[in-house]
A and B are shown apart, each in its own frame.
Chain A
Amino acid sequence: MAEHDHTSKQNADAVDAEILEILQKDARATVAQIATMLGRSEEDIAGRIERMEAQGIILRYKAVINWERAGEEQVLALIEVRVAPQRDVGFDAIAARIYRFPEARTVYLVSGDYDLAVEVVGRTMKDVANFVSAKLAPLEGVQATTTHFLLKRYKEDGVVIEGQAEELRREPIVP
């Protein structure tokens, strides 16, 4: 009995994983489409998605935008932040203080020369530099920052943005 539960749980997890794979590629895939693709009922798929949203497995749905092509001025910078970890809480408290800023879009704890990798978005280089010097650097616990401005996006979220100029032509009819 227990063995049967295990395999059915495995199968259940495999379906969940497939749903996630589909949604990550195309967040607009509808429940009906996913149900067709996986050969399952719409109720089943809708239920699974709802559950995964509640469990915090699916955090958000997004569109990957090429803002430059949209004509929007946007400056992105990757900030290396060196931090003095706090007793008992380690890096968590300082990370929280940073990620509360809406300008800090991504905050990761990383291994290597520095501690926190922060992605900051602003309208101009000056805005970003101001954020770093006025809001980020003065935070208690922040020892040093190094700012890298993004110059060119080649690939983001699995999508090639610049570079693939050549269209790979396939023979339209192949027996």
Chain B
Amino acid sequence: MDQLLESQEKERESVGRRSLSARVRQIPPSGIRKFFDLISSMEDVVSLGVGEPDFVTPWHIREAAIYSLEKGYTMYTSNYGLLELREAVANDLRRRFQVEYDPTCEILITVGVSEGLDLALRAIVDPGDEVIIPDPGYVSYQPCTILAGGAVVPVPTRLEDGFKVRASEIEARVSSRTKAILIGYPNNPTGAILSHSELQAILDVAQRHGLLVISDEIYERLVYDGKHTCFASLPGARDRTILLGGFSKSYAMTGWRIGWAAAPAEIIEGMMKIHQYSALCPPIMGQKAALEALRNGEQQSLAMTREYDRRRRVIVKGLNEIGLPTFEPKGAFYAFPSIATTGLSDDEFAERLLREERVAVVPGTAFGEGGRGHVRCSYATSLNNIQEALRRMRRFVERVRA
């Protein structure tokens, strides 16, 4: 009797495995899964592995959501998202970057930038189309391209360039199958930002070869040295750009899952076609909260940015003093030190640091081959945590190098 059950169990298992599509099986497993498991079994871990703000969403924003719930706003919104929110996004983009989008048809409210990115790729990529993506880069860029049926063409970025992607390197990889360039600046995991002229050079490549540009600007408010240049604000860029932005990092609203996409009407319509069937609309209470953030959240957002800036200086100085050379990140909330001097691989470094000193960092290879030899240290955590982490990392590095 047991033998029968056992073989039935085996049959069920392999059916599950066999049922997955080739595309899904093509996506490599996450490089950080094992760290999750390791951490859950440990106590007193100081984590520099967080990719989200350590602040709670400012009260007035939470209160706006609560109030909207009290009033009974619990229904679906337009597929495009609440018109008032789209108008607020359009006004914000006009005010800060002088870029014009029609809120009735050129803006889509999405379930985080995550969904916006997925929609953008699925809307424009035909099977076999190539998407040029700087490496290292955010973990979703390559998998979402594959899921959309496209082919990833990575562009390595270098420490010597502060991990800023070179337009010439992008151009060298353009082929007859290239559909789009996907960039995310300020950058996760490196913290790099691109200047106006550097972005212009990328636009020139896109124009020369008739390419689209997907610009993930989720960290656009977290720029410390210099100003953020919105890609779509460059002359001629608007009509070939899918601009992605959101509220998660600027207003500490990661869990709310609200973002937006801005693009020419035909592209938004294409994205909306997918979105209306897959997500329908983002949560209305999140949209109400996002509206409050845009209307009244500037002060608190700036205060959070100032706080990140202080921590940034502390962590960069600290890492350099330990002997982990770190170039100065000008945006987002990550430092990307080189761990080459320890002689360990980034994966080994991260695992041993966690086991021996209970400090969590993310190995650079989790973000692509270009991240080899580096680890990502988030400074979206308290100054105390940062200082404690630095103390423990110093001990670790000294021990390894002894």
Contact = CB atoms under 8 A, between A and B. Distances in A.
Interface of A: 18, 21-22, 33, 36-39, 168, 170-175
Chain A to chain B: the 9 pairs with minimum beta-carbon distance, closest first: A37-B310, A173-B49, A174-B51, A175-B139, A172-B47, A172-B39, A174-B50, A173-B35, A174-B52
28 contacts: A18-B306, A22-B310, A33-B314, A36-B313, A37-B313, A37-B314, A38-B310, A168-B56, A170-B50, A170-B54, A171-B52, A172-B36, A172-B47, A172-B49, A172-B50, A172-B360, A173-B32, A173-B47, A173-B50, A174-B50, A174-B51, A175-B30, A175-B32, A175-B51, A175-B138, A175-B140, A175-B188, A175-B362
Contacts of B45: 172
Contacts of B174: none
B317 interface: yes
B262 interface: no
Contacts of A174: 49-52
A170 B47 CA distance: 10
Nearest to A22: B310
B231 to A, nearest CB: 23
A37 B382 CA distance: 13
A26 B51 CA distance: 26
Nearest to A170: B50
A175 B306 CA distance: 23
Contacts of B188: 175
A24 B32 CA distance: 38
A36 B311 CA distance: 9
Contacts of A21: 306
A173 B311 CA distance: 19
B90 interface: no
B39 A173 contact: yes
A18 B313 CA distance: 14
B313 A39 contact: yes
